Structure 1
Amino acid sequence: NVPDVFLFLAMAESNFISHAKSGKQAVGIWQFLAPTARKYGLRVDEYVDERKDPYKATNAAIKYLKRLHKMFGKWYLAALAYNAGEGTLQRAIKRAGTDDVMVLLDPKKKYLPKESRKYLAKIVMLALISNDKRYRVSSELAYILTRGEEYDILPVKVKGAELLDYVAERIKLRSSFLRQLNPHIKRGFTPPDVKRYTIYIPKLKYKEFVANYKPSNSYRNFVVYKVKKGDSLYAIAKKFRLRVSSIKKFNHLRSNLLRPGQKLILPVAKKRKRIYKVRPGDTIIKIAKRFGVDPKKLKAWNDKKSNFIKAGEELVILY
Structure 2
Amino acid sequence: YLFIFLFLAVEIAVVNSLSVFADPGYSSTTFRQGYVTHRDFVVTPQLKPRVDFWIDIFARYHKNEFVIHHRKYPFLVFRVVKLGGIKFLEGTRRFERYKRKLLKKEIRETENILKRLLKGATPRTSVEREVFNNLALVPLSYKTYLRKNITGQLRAQGGIREEFAEALRRSGRYMHIIKSIFVDRYGLPLELTRLPFVESSFNYNARSAAGASGIWQFMPRTARIYGLKVNYSLDERRDIIASTDAAARYLRDAYNELLSWQLAVTSYNHGVYGVKRKIKKHRTRSLSRLINHPRIDAFGFASSNFFAELLAAVEVYNNRSYYFPEVKLEPPVHMAVRRLPYSVSVTYLVSKLGVPLAEFKSLNNALSWRVWKGYRKIPAGYLIKVPLKYKRKLAALTIPPPRTSFTFSNANYYRVRRGDTLIKIGRRFNISVKELKRLNNLKRDVIKVGQVIKIAPSSTKKSYWNGIHTVRRGETLSYIARRYKVSLKDLRRVNNLSSSLIKVGQRLKVPSRSKGEGKIVGSKGSYMTYKVKSGDTLWTLSKRFGTSISAIKRASNLRSSKLIKGQKLRIPRK
Q: Measure how far apart 1:201 and its partner are.
A: 0.9
Q: 1:184 aligns with which of 340, 349, 366?
A: 366
How far apart, CA to CA, are the structure 1 residues paired with 2:270 and 2:289? 16
Q: Distance in 1 between matches of 2:258 and 2:420?
A: 44
Alignment match, 1:234: 434
Give the deviation of 1:158 after TM superposition: 2.9
Match of 1:111 among 293, 298, 308: 298
Q: 1:20 aligns with which of 206, 228, 231?
A: 206
Q: CA RMSD in A?
A: 4.3
Q: Residue 355 of structure 2: SS of its match in structure 1?
A: coil
Q: CA deviation at 1:114?
A: 0.4
Amino acid at match of 2:270: A
Partner of 2:104: none
| Aligned-partner Cα distance in 2 for 1:10–1:116 | 15
Q: Deviations over 1:91-124 (max 9, x none)?
A: 2222322011211222743211101112111100
Identity %: 22
Residue 307 of structure 2 aligns to a residue whose secondary structure is: helix
The one-letter code of the counterpart of 2:441 is R
Asked whether the 8 Å contact 2:342–2:399 carries over to 1, the reply is no
Give the structure 2 partner of residue 60 of structure 1.
246
What is the DSSP-based 3-state SS (H/G/I as helix, E as strand, rest coil) of the residue aligned with 2:340? strand
Name the CA distance, whole Å, in 1 between partners of 2:316 and 2:283.
33
Aligned partners of 1:5, 1:307: CA distance in 2, in Å? Answer: 75
TM-score (norm 1): 0.69
Normalising by structure 2, what TM-score?
Answer: 0.41
Matches within 5 A, 1:33-44: 33-44=219-230
CA distance in 1, matches of 2:235, 2:309: 27
For residues 208 and 552 of structure 2, the distance between their equivalents in structure 1, rounded to whole angstroms, comes to: 49
1:203-214 aligned within 5 A = 203-211=388-396, 213-214=397-398
Q: Secondary structure at 1:68's aligned position in 2?
A: helix
C-alpha change, 1:175 and 1:104, in structure 2 (3 Å) is: same
1:243: which partner in 2? 441
Instruction: Report the 3-state secondary structure (helix = DSSP H, G, I; strand = E; otherwise coil) of the residue aligned with 1:55.
Output: helix
Find the residue that maps to 1:199 and give its secondary structure.
strand
Q: Could you say if the C-alpha distance between residues 159 and 165 of structure 1 is closer, same or farther in structure 2, counting changes exceeding 3 Å?
A: farther
- Number of residue pairs matched by the alignment: 272
| 1:18-53 residue CA offsets vs partner (Å, 9 max, x unmatched) | 221112111111111111111111111122111111
C-alpha displacement at 1:182, in angstroms?
1.0
- Is 1:288–1:295's contact at 8 Å kept on the other side of the alignment? yes
Instruction: State the SS of the aligned residue for 2:386.
Output: strand
**CA deviation string 1:190-225 (max 9, x = no partner):** 455x4x4321111111122234x3224775998775
The unaligned stretches of length 5 or more in structure 1 are 138-146, 248-257, 259-263, 272-279, 310-319
Q: Does 1:125 align with 2:307?
A: no
CA distance 1:233–1:172, shift in 2 (3 Å) = farther
Q: Which moved more, 1:65-74 or 1:93-102?
A: 93-102
Aligned to 2:385: 200
Q: 1:12 to 1:294 in 2, by over 3 A?
A: farther
Q: CA deviation at 1:14?
A: 1.1
Distance 2:322 2:253 in 1: 33
- Higher alpha-carbon Rg: 2
Cα pair distance change 1:87/1:41, threshold 3 Å: same
- C-alpha distance in 2, partners of 1:185/1:302? 38
With a CA cutoff of 8 Å and minimum separation of 6, indicate the structure with the bigger relative contact order. Answer: 1
3-state SS of paired residue (1:200): strand
Distance in 2 between residues matched to 1:103 and 1:113, nearest whole Å? 14
Check 1:302–1:267 CA distance in 2 against 1; reply closer, same or farther (3 A cut). Answer: closer
> What is the aligned partner in structure 2 of residue 170 from structure 1?
352
